[in-house]
Amino acid sequence: MSRLLLALLCWMPAVALAQNVGEPLIGTRKVVNAGPGNQSDPHVSDARVAYTSESEGMSEIRFHDLSTGEDQAIPNGGAYDFFADISGDTVVFTRVLGGAGSIFTFDVRTRSPAAEVAPQDGSDRRGAVIGRRTVVWEDASFGPELSQREISVFELDTQSLMRLTSDTVLDRTPSVSADGSTIVWAKCPVGTACDVWQAVAAPGGFQVQALTGSQGEESQPDTNGQVVVYSSYRIENGVGERDLYWQAVGGGMEYRLALPGLEANPSISGSLIAFERQEPSAELPNYDIMLFDLSTETLYRLTETPGSERLNDISVGQDGLVRVVWSVPENGDDNVLSFTFRLPGNPQCQPRAQAPTAAELEAACQDPGARPLLASLMLERSPGKPSEESSTFQAQGEGLLCVENGYGGMPTTAGWVELSGASGVEPFEFVKGLELMARQVVLSEGDSTVSARLASSPGSSVRVRLYGSPPVCNERFPGEERIPGKHVAPQAWRPAAPSGVEGLDGAREGGSGLGCDMGGGALAWLGVGLMAVLLWRARRVPVPVRREARRRAR
């Protein structure tokens, strides 16, 4: 079979756009802020939204509670604040004062004054994002050229700063997963020709590699820690198209959502991707907010107005509700709106009649569903004194403790895991050599701590994850509306592995084109089968992470 014919067969849709399937989304819309001036670039975590508000030459960050309606500004003393992101109680943003661009954090719960992250004289930092306690930003402080931006990482718990990239090309628009374990960004050798790179947390630092190669020009990546989604411009049959693509963290099959028009600016939380679509048949060219469910291959259209809805973000909350936010021009100003709903047929809404079995707990550790991730620890035993890590969190009710012995290294035979001083996993359980220990635990109200300690041979490692209670379902929404869905089967490729330097330093462009692993007879059904396998393995709904639609404003 010729390469051209193989390529054409590979790009055939497995299943075309079909009839409405399943139950519709049921939810309600809400105006976050439609006041004077421009309200834009919203980001959402559970019920909280952080966004930029500009009026009369001033710019500030505001936070809004979708449950209570509270809307407050972060005091800035006359500084210029913009590019906000939020995870849990913490808002991060860029502050310009006296010509320097710095990254600040603000605690929504305590309302303490905003604090600068890793202060540095003459810094030029912007575009911060946050996943749990990991803050990532673009940093132009390392070289004389503004185009020589690097990616920096700061851990709030340990107050440690790391330079993730070190090269002469432009590294921009980072995103970070909910637990802070995975970072993605665009690397652009000449300002264009961008590829997606990723950094995955490993004992002692991050493992860095290229995710895409020369097959297209990628931008606007985001990740939920298991899947990386991005926009890519590619030439097909002499025609350029910008579509949505995704693949698993670390690489593998690449999937494309082939829709007419232009798709851009994806944000992902759990199995849901929100994105912006410009439909070519529209009477007036404009963008609408779309939603695609990876687990069911269902496409929903959330907006359909004359204005262009842009700068979206999505959050699958610990209460089981999904919240999408965006900005839209209305009456000469930009305003922020939201849509809150629950996915149809959410299994997390089914009450349990009895305590889960050990097998069910282990399965829940493999696929936590809509359980919120409260804490994550990774330990590797080093020579010398025992290795210890801890993390604080706030939650109450039942929790799920997942301890993976030997994760990223050798199993340990001497370890402890505790919850606020009480035993979670005893030392004798490590001696048994179990790979996964899953426990249902009781979480107390207020500040709590999960800690782990290793005292066995150097090189042994453990990963500890703590999840909160499954969501409690609300039956109805005030002023609810119903949004139908359509089934759309993505197209599948197996791209050639891009070349790239693994490690913290250096970058090398890679990619040698795409290869297809679908051939022979029933291509369509094989594509569906492969997609189902990947999604079954990767299906997970972590606490949401924010997204980087802000890049369009730079």
Q: Across residues 87-107, what is the average pLDDT?
A: 92
**Helix ranges restricted to H, 11-72:** none
Name which CATH class applies to 349-467: mainly beta
Q: Which of 200-209, 277-286, 324-333, 542-551 has the lowest mean pLDDT?
A: 542-551
- Two tokens, residue 125: 């930092």
Backbone angles phi, psi at 470, to 5 degrees: -60, 160
- Two tokens, residue 109: 């719960």
Helix (H), strand (E) at residue 91: strand 90-97
Distance CA 517, CA 359 (A): 35
Dihedral class, residue 77 (left if φ above 0, else alpha if ψ from -120 to 50, else beta) = left
Annotate 210-225 with b (16+ C-beta within 10 A) or e (fewer).
bbbbbbbbbbbbbbbb
User: What does each C-alpha distance from 338 to 62, 288, 299, 310, 312 come to in angstroms?
Assistant: 15, 13, 18, 12, 9
Complete DSSP assignment for 444-482: -SSEEEEEEEE-SSTTBEEEEEEE-PPPPPP---TT-EE
Tell me which architecture the domain covering 3-343+491-553 has in CATH.
Answer: 6 Propeller (2.120)
Distance CA 360, CA 382 (A): 34
CB 465 within 8 A of CB 405: no
Which pairs count as long-range contacts for 422-430, CB under 8 Å and 24+ apart, including other chains?
A: 424/450, 425/401, 430/405, 430/456
Say if strands 310-316 and 322-330 run parallel, antiparallel, or are unpaired.
Answer: antiparallel
The full set of domain ranges for the chain reads 3-343+491-553, 349-467
Q: Across residues 276-284, what is the average pLDDT?
A: 83
Does the pLDDT of residue 328 top 90, yes or no? Answer: yes
Domains 3-343+491-553 and 349-467 alike in fold: no
User: What does each C-alpha distance from 293 to 176, 218, 296, 298 come to in angstroms?
Assistant: 20, 21, 6, 5
Q: Which residues pair with 30 in a beta bridge?
A: 338
User: What does each C-alpha distance from 259 to 6, 231, 299, 488 come to in angstroms?
Assistant: 21, 13, 10, 9
* Average of per-residue pLDDT values in the chain: 82
Q: Which of 6-20, 66-80, 128-142, 184-198 has the lowest mean pLDDT?
A: 6-20
CB 356 within 8 A of CB 334: no
Q: What percent of the chain has pLDDT over 70?
A: 81
**pLDDT of 254:** 96
- Two tokens, residue 202: 């490993």
Helix (H), strand (E) at residue 528: helix 523-538
**pLDDT of 436:** 92
User: What does each C-alpha distance from 381 to 204, 392, 407, 414 come to in angstroms?
Assistant: 10, 21, 12, 10
- Two tokens, residue 462: 């453990």
Confidence class of residue 540 from pLDDT cuts 50, 70 and 90? very low
Q: How large is the greatest C-alpha to C-alpha distance in the chain, in angstroms?
A: 69
Does the pLDDT of residue 175 top 50, yes or no? Answer: yes
**pLDDT of 535:** 37
Centre a 10 Å sphere on the Cβ of residue 202 and count the other Cβ atoms it contains. Answer: 16
Does the pLDDT of residue 256 top 60, yes or no? Answer: yes
Eight-state DSSP code of residue 226 = S
Confidence class of residue 485 from pLDDT cuts 50, 70 and 90? very high
Q: How many DSSP H helices and E strands does the chain contain? A: 4, 40
> Which is more confidently placed, 343 or 167?
167
3-state SS of 428-440?
Answer: HHHHCCCCEEEEE
Confidence class of residue 528 from pLDDT cuts 50, 70 and 90? very low
**pLDDT of 14:** 36
**pLDDT of 447:** 79
Cβ-in-10-Å burial (0-12, 13-18, 19+) of 513 comes to exposed
Q: Across residues 137-151, what is the average pLDDT?
A: 81
Confidence class of residue 51 from pLDDT cuts 50, 70 and 90? very high
Distance CA 550, CA 548 (A): 5
Confidence class of residue 398 from pLDDT cuts 50, 70 and 90? confident
Q: Across residues 378-405, what is the average pLDDT?
A: 87
Cβ-in-10-Å burial (0-12, 13-18, 19+) of 434 comes to middle
Contacts of 170 (CB under 8 A, 6+ apart): 147, 148, 149, 187, 188, 189, 191
Task: Give the 3-state secondary structure of residue 4.
Answer: helix
